[in-house]
Amino acid sequence: MTAYIIRRLWQMIPTLLGVMLLVFVIFNMVGGDPAYVLAGKISNQEQIDNIRKQLGVDQPYHVQLGIFAKQVVTGDFGASWSTNEKISNILGTRLGPSLMVLVPLLFLETLLAIAFALAVAYVRGSLTDRAVMIVCTAGMSISILVYIIVFQYWLAYKLGWFPVQGWGNGFWENLFVYSSLPILIGLVVSIAPNLRLYRTFVLDEINQDYVRTARAKGLSDNTILWTHVLRNASIPIITHVMAGLPGLLVGAFLIERFFSIPGIGREVILAVERSDFPVVKAITIYVAVATMVANLLADLMYKAVDPRVQLK
Amino acid sequence: MMGVWRSLAMLILGAMATGAPAADMGKTLRITFQVAETGFDPVRIHDYYSGTVIETVYDSLLGYDYLARPSKLAPRAAELPQVTDGGRTYTFKIRKGILFTPDAAFKGKRRELVAEDFAYTIKRFLDPKNRSPYAFFFEGKILGLDDLAAEAKKSGRFDYDRKIPGFEIPDSHTLRIKLKDPDYTFSQILAFSQTSAVAREVIETYGEESNFHPVGTGPYMLDKYVRSSKIFLKANPDYRKETWDFKPGADPRDKDIVARMKGKQIPAIGNVEISIVEESQARMLAFENGETDLEYQLWDVSTRFMTEDNKLVPDFVKKGIRLDRIVDPEITYTYMNTLDKIGDQPNPVGGFTRERIALRRAIAMAYNLGDQIRIIRKNQSVKAEYPIPPGVTGHEPAWKNNIRHDPAGANALLERVGYKKGADGYRSQPDGTPLLIRYSTTPDERGRLFAELMKKSMDSIGVRIDIHIDKFPELLKAEKQCRLMVRGAAWIADYPDGDNFMQLLYGPNAYQSNNACYKSAEYDKLYEKSKLMPDGAERNKLYREMTKIMERDTPWIMNDSRYRNTLLHKQVVGYKKHPILHADWVYIDLDKRAK
């Protein structure tokens, strides 16, 4: 096991190098020259050159790439080009609000989607199953933007159940007052595709011989579903959930923007709008690392869930 | 011994200034910014929203009369200056007893605002380390300052201690600024919020973090701050005793404002809570829900609160909501590059031959500005007739641009000068080569709308157009290098003087703010003459002549000036949008009973 983990960690290095190179090339090709934006309304070439020098974008590409590599190794990405705020501070202060919305959302959507998937799989082919699938398909066809606009208008503005937008000072206030509607919208949007996906994972298992044997042995349907079927359907579910984990770092762009949540997602949009490369590259690298770590964790969890899995 | 007396004087000043805060600390004004601030170091920022906070936290030498229209300078940290030596010397008397808000950088001592603070602040604009976006305000103007900046570029260190002939400080509260050339707009520059005084100790203490430690002498101070999310301001308890005493103007609303505000302390509201809310729907609903007290710049949802004839919808009127509406001191225009060549390629809209001027004129005549105002702006703008917008000195309200929307006339003009239509319906140049105009825009919805409108307008005169889409920074870069052919642009007043707009076509400003890269010896001569004059009939006459030259050569299609709509709940008292002030809410009050 230890050898496997060490090997996987080593394998992360070339992957990370690839990500670095890709981010660097993409940003330099399409990111735009920030000096012209930062220079203000009236500026001459000398001032623009001075800004480029201070930002380091006047250096040859290989030197800039070297600096980038050093930043990745040290974890110090410097400061934002547009605000001078330290990147570590940006990540440190914006991550909390994003997680405040996305962690409960991840838990709830996973639990509810699994429960509903087991329930509809159990009545597969029935009117209920078909009705749920039709609702899910219809729900998936609607853009998240529509959900946000409609829910914000009706539930927050018209009915007054939630604040229209905003973010408070205390943990509980933020969780129960300001995050409730964003979490609800996130649930409505994510539960349909997850339910459909998990239902197929469960159906793959529910027709297996071991289920028939269990029934023949007289086990209750609940025991069969929650103990045997769920355990065997867990591996693809874990894969799916773990693949979504790095997304927590990026936040939910639209939800954060519409509900004025000071999270990472909103910061990424701002950074892209301002051509703030240090912020964009830091977040991209952290997401890449988180993705690799989540993949490794998923593999380890397979082993925990199913002892037949061999990690080589 | 002097030190002891100075400390004693400071203690007395502090004691005099401290006391019950003038503002009602039980009142909180709730407003929004639609874009996140970038910081609060006045010299380093250039965005509107950061500038708004800066305007309240710091003091500039001069300010504006809240009610006077057109904008009129008023004393702020200093009395109005004495201008001598034909507009070359400005002498400011700084008011005594103005204190910076307490900060660790002052090591427990009270710190008074003095003339040296303004000299230090102005020097900072030219310190290359600060890469100030407003360095152009002071470049080439103050005696000795450019030499100091040039040395800093060489040595990497700006010598703030070096005396320069441009700053004379005969006593601690007198600042005399000596300019190289006469400049009658200089007072206006010193009313701009980014020129507000900072304390050197604070800047040196916080260094690169100066953006996040605003320590000033203004009516408010930063209380709590969650970057890019919330800014809480509270009234500065040490703020000088300033009473609301503005005189009503011709506007009938002024009398009511004066009746309700006269004699109140400035600021009257104890707390201001600013939330960053980017989306218009969220801002609109939050306002309607009573989560904010005033809301503005809701162009894209204007149909929700305005009727077709630009009145407030009855539902809002019933709720006691009011609408304050002014034309922003800005112009938007579409420039056409007048250089003969762009890079090494011939420029079909450039040059000053009869044919090229006629082509530019025809393009301007074909452009359907009416559709722009109706469809893109949703009727939230007015046609810009004159290069100087309303609310800015030098504006001519009666002026009518001599180019009107007339596609038939434009077609006839093009035929007359030799731009003939081919079988495909598109015109070629008089020498028979194909005519292709390149219009640049950004890859967003608004950019697409403008491109479609331009394409439709050009189709109406048979001019083939190529839409070039690129990111904003790249367009800006190409623009500064005079490499764009046709593109839309906007200019909002930095200070309310016609010069701020007429410089946009001054030849030497090509590659900087003159994005049409327009060079007319005739125009430049008149502009240089106007620079040496104060505002008045004589200068206005020059501006009219310059405008005629501009209309004749047509480097621009004059577009529009947008309305600024501000929605106010009934508890907001005394509000009237000032064309230049960002934080005009410093001069208002909240009526708690009206909530």
Contact B71, B326 (CB under 8 A): no
Examine the domain organization and report whether A156 and A43 are in the same domain. no
Can you give the pLDDT at residue B17? 46
| B282 vs A contacts (CB less than 8 Å) | 152, 164-165, 258-260
Each residue of A1-58: pLDDT tens digit? Answer: 788 888 888 889 999 999 999 989 988 877 777 888 888 877 888 888 888 888 888 8
Residues B461, B386: Cα–Cα separation, whole Å: 25
Residues B29, B295: Cα–Cα separation, whole Å: 11
Interchain proximity A34–B473, CB inside 8 Å: yes
Examine the domain organization and report whether A129 and A185 are in the same domain. yes
Residues B56, B51: Cα–Cα separation, whole Å: 9
Residue whose token pair is 């409730």 = A180
β-bridge partners, B440: B468, B487
| B128 vs A contacts (CB less than 8 Å) | 50
Chain B CB within 8 Å of residue A193 CB = no
Examine the domain organization and report whether A160 and A34 are in the same domain. no
Chain B CB within 8 Å of residue A82 CB = yes
Beta-strand relationship, B572-573 and B436-441: unpaired
Residue A278 covered by a domain:
yes
Nearest to B186, CA basis, from B69, B120, B88: B88
CA distance A156 to chain B (A): 9
CA distance B577 to chain A (A): 24
Chain B CB within 8 Å of residue A245 CB = no
Handedness of CA A230, A232, A236, A242 (dihedral sign): positive
Distances (CA, A) of A174 to A168, A260, B33, B444: 6, 12, 21, 33
CA distance A35 to chain B (A): 8
Handedness of CA B434, B438, B439, B441 (dihedral sign): positive
Examine the domain organization and report whether A298 and A169 are in the same domain. yes
Distances (CA, A) of B3 to A82, B114, B310: 41, 16, 63
Interchain proximity A165–B277, CB inside 8 Å: yes
Interchain proximity A152–B281, CB inside 8 Å: yes
Chain B CB within 8 Å of residue A40 CB = yes
CA distance B11 to chain A (A): 36
Nearest beta carbon to residue A157 from set B36, B285, B473: B285
- Name the residue in chain B with its Cα closest to that of A38: B133
Examine the domain organization and report whether A177 and A279 are in the same domain. yes
Nearest beta carbon to residue B131 from set A54, A149, A259: A54
| A260 vs B contacts (CB less than 8 Å) | 229, 275-278, 282
Task: Provide the CA A50 distance to its chain's centre, in angstroms.
Answer: 38
Nearest beta carbon to residue B278 from set A54, A167, A257: A257
Domains of chain B, each with CATH number or no CATH: 330-562 (3.10.105.10)
Where among A74, A96, A130 does a domain terminate? A74
DSSP class per residue in A204-225: HHHTSHHHHHHHHTT--HHHII
Distances (CA, A) of B93 to B64, B116, B173, B186, B216: 17, 12, 6, 16, 18
| B473 vs A contacts (CB less than 8 Å) | 31-34, 36-37, 275
Examine the domain organization and report whether A204 and A276 are in the same domain. yes
Share the mean pLDDT of chain A. 89
Q: With both helix axes pointing from N to C terminus, report the angle between B354-366 and B445-459 in degrees, rounded to the nearest 10.
A: 120
Q: With both helix axes pointing from N to C terminus, report the angle between A144-151 and A180-206 in degrees, rounded to the nearest 10.
A: 140
Residue A23 covered by a domain:
yes
Examine the domain organization and report whether A183 and A281 are in the same domain. yes
Nearest beta carbon to residue B473 from set A32, A40, A94: A32
Q: Identify the burial level of B32 via C-beta atoms within 10 angstroms of its C-beta, where 0-12 means exposed, 13-18 middle and 19 or more buried.
A: buried
Interchain proximity B39–A84, CB inside 8 Å: yes
**pLDDT greater than 70 at residue A232:** yes
Say if the ipTM goes beyond 0.85: no
| B288 vs A contacts (CB less than 8 Å) | 157
Contact B360, B349 (CB under 8 A): yes
Residues B89, B181: Cα–Cα separation, whole Å: 9
**Residue B446 in tokens:** 């608004």
**Residue B316 in tokens:** 């809002």
Examine the domain organization and report whether A174 and A122 are in the same domain. yes
Nearest to B412, CA basis, from B347, B351, B366, B352: B366
| B281 vs A contacts (CB less than 8 Å) | 149, 152-153, 258
Residue of B31, B283, B305, B480 best to disrupt the A interface, most CBs of A under 10 A = B480
Where among A18, A45, A74 does a domain terminate? A74
Can you give the pLDDT at residue A221? 86
Residue A82 covered by a domain:
no
The secondary element (H helix, E strand) that includes residue B541 is helix B537-553
Domain that holds residue A45: 2-74
Angle at B466 between CA A27 and CA B444, to 5 degrees: 45
Residues A273, A260: Cα–Cα separation, whole Å: 17
Interchain proximity A42–B513, CB inside 8 Å: yes
Residue whose token pair is 């598109």 = B426
Residue A191 covered by a domain:
yes
Contact B9, B111 (CB under 8 A): no
Contact B380, B563 (CB under 8 A): yes
Chain B CB within 8 Å of residue A39 CB = yes
Task: Provide the CA B442 distance to its chain's centre, in angstroms.
Answer: 22
Examine the domain organization and report whether A66 and A23 are in the same domain. yes
The secondary element (H helix, E strand) that includes residue B458 is helix B445-459
Chain B CB within 8 Å of residue A29 CB = no
| A157 vs B contacts (CB less than 8 Å) | 285, 288-289
Beta-strand relationship, B269-276 and B24-33: parallel
Residue whose token pair is 């300052």 = B145
DSSP class per residue in B16-28: HH-SS-SSEEEEE
Q: Identify the burial level of B205 via C-beta atoms within 10 angstroms of its C-beta, where 0-12 means exposed, 13-18 middle and 19 or more buried.
A: middle
Chain B CB within 8 Å of residue A38 CB = yes
Contact B99, B112 (CB under 8 A): yes
CA distance B255 to chain A (A): 36
Distances (CA, A) of B23 to A123, B215, B218: 67, 19, 13
**Residue B97 in tokens:** 């007893």
CA distance A22 to chain B (A): 20
What's A65's DSSP letter?
H
Residues B58, B278: Cα–Cα separation, whole Å: 26
Chain B CB within 8 Å of residue A272 CB = no
Nearest to B583, CA basis, from B12, B8, B29: B29
CA distance A41 to chain B (A): 7
| A88 vs B contacts (CB less than 8 Å) | none
Contact B504, B491 (CB under 8 A): yes
Each residue of A239-297: pLDDT tens digit? Answer: 888 888 888 777 788 999 999 999 999 999 888 888 888 999 899 999 899 889 988 99
Residue A81 covered by a domain:
no
Residues A20, A276: Cα–Cα separation, whole Å: 16
A·B CB contacts under 8 A:
132
Interchain proximity B211–A84, CB inside 8 Å: yes
Outline where DSSP puts E strands in A131-248: none
The CATH number of the domain where A199 resides is what?
1.10.3720.10
What's B162's DSSP letter?
S
Distances (CA, A) of A21 to A17, A52, A64, A276: 6, 21, 11, 18
Q: Identify the burial level of A209 via C-beta atoms within 10 angstroms of its C-beta, where 0-12 means exposed, 13-18 middle and 19 or more buried.
A: exposed
Q: How many structural domains comprise chain A?
A: 2
Can you give the pLDDT at residue B19? 42
Over chain B (595 residues), the average pLDDT of each successive run of 10 is: 48 44 88 93 92 97 94 95 96 97 96 98 95 91 96 93 96 97 94 96 94 96 92 95 93 95 95 94 93 89 87 94 94 97 94 97 98 93 96 94 96 97 96 96 92 97 96 88 96 93 96 94 97 94 98 97 95 95 94 81
Chain B CB within 8 Å of residue A43 CB = yes
- What confidence tier does A169 reach under pLDDT thresholds 50, 70, 90? confident
Could you give phi then psi for residue A260, rounded to 5 degrees? 55, 45
β-bridge partners, B557: B334
Interchain proximity B282–A54, CB inside 8 Å: no
Nearest beta carbon to residue A44 from set B46, B153, B512: B512
Residue A59 covered by a domain:
yes
Residues B585, B578: Cα–Cα separation, whole Å: 10
Can you give the pLDDT at residue B15? 44
Examine the domain organization and report whether A254 and A284 are in the same domain. yes
Distances (CA, A) of B104 to B110, B204, B262: 11, 12, 37
**Residue B154 in tokens:** 């060489």
- What confidence tier does A134 reach under pLDDT thresholds 50, 70, 90? very high
- Name the residue in chain A with its Cα closest to that of B44: A83
Examine the domain organization and report whether A68 and A92 are in the same domain. no
Nearest beta carbon to residue A43 from set B128, B277, B512: B512
| B133 vs A contacts (CB less than 8 Å) | 38-41, 43
**Residue B352 in tokens:** 């000053």
| B285 vs A contacts (CB less than 8 Å) | 152-153, 156-157, 164-165
Residue A151 covered by a domain:
yes
Interchain proximity A43–B511, CB inside 8 Å: no
Where among A27, A47, A74 does a domain terminate? A74
Residue A216 covered by a domain:
yes
Task: Provide the CA B422 distance to its chain's centre, in angstroms.
Answer: 46
Residues B123, B135: Cα–Cα separation, whole Å: 10
Residues A265, A248: Cα–Cα separation, whole Å: 9
| A29 vs B contacts (CB less than 8 Å) | none
DSSP class per residue in B270-289: EEEEEEE---HHHHHHHHHT
Nearest to A229, CA basis, from A262, A203, A195, A191: A203
Question: Three-state SS for A183?
Answer: helix
Examine the domain organization and report whether A50 and A92 are in the same domain. no
Q: With both helix axes pointing from N to C terminus, report the angle between A264-273 and A87-122 in degrees, rounded to the nearest 10.
A: 120
Chain B CB within 8 Å of residue A37 CB = yes
- Name the residue in chain B with its Cα closest to that of A30: B471
| B212 vs A contacts (CB less than 8 Å) | 85
Beta-strand relationship, B24-33 and B62-64: unpaired
Residues B93, B77: Cα–Cα separation, whole Å: 9
Contact B376, B441 (CB under 8 A): no
- Name the residue in chain B with its Cα closest to that of A80: B38
| B494 vs A contacts (CB less than 8 Å) | 41
| A82 vs B contacts (CB less than 8 Å) | 38
H-assigned helices in B68-114:
none
